[in-house]
Copies of this chain bind each other. A is one copy, B any other.
């Protein structure tokens, strides 16, 4: 089966089980017998993923489509939500980046010999010991590079 687009059997099974691919027919021997339409569907799924939708969300789009016809409103609402979430997330990451750069610049001005006293590292200042939550408190789902 077509595995050219980095698309493994595992992924297909996962998509099927996640409800974003229709349950395919089977050959007499039990193999999945994919219809050509699955390629279109797959293209849709990939496009939706590229727009940042989760498989669960993609499934809702498909369900709306099947139940009520064109899911345009549903989709635009999802896109709006994601755009807002992206704005927020980007702002958080930019704040974190600013903080990291500030600390990095500060580090260059410090004398390691002066570091030795009580904390772990003077580059990352303790601030008020556990006073409030983290001040610049970016949740930072770190560098999750695939």
Which residues of A are interface residues toward B (Cβ below 8 A)?
Answer: 2, 5-7, 37, 39-44, 46-52, 54, 61-62, 65, 69-72, 75-76, 79-80, 82-83, 85-90, 93-94, 96-97, 99-101, 103-104, 107-108, 110, 112-113, 115-116, 118-121, 123-146
CB <8 Å contact, B52 and A143: yes
Q: How many copies does the complex hold?
A: 2
CB <8 Å contact, B129 and A43: yes
Interface centre among A41, A70, A99 (most CB of B within 10 A): A70
Report the minimum CB–CB distance from A96 to chain B (whole Å).
5
Beyond A44-B119, A48-B124, A54-B142, 12 additional contacts (C-beta under 8 Å) are A43-B126, A43-B130, A47-B127, A50-B135, A51-B99, A52-B96, A69-B115, A75-B121, A82-B143, A86-B97, A86-B100, A87-B97
Q: How far is B54's CA from A76's CA once the two chains are assembled, in angstroms?
A: 35
With A51-B96, A85-B145, A145-B139 known as contacts, the answer to whether A129 contacts B79 (CB < 8 A) is no
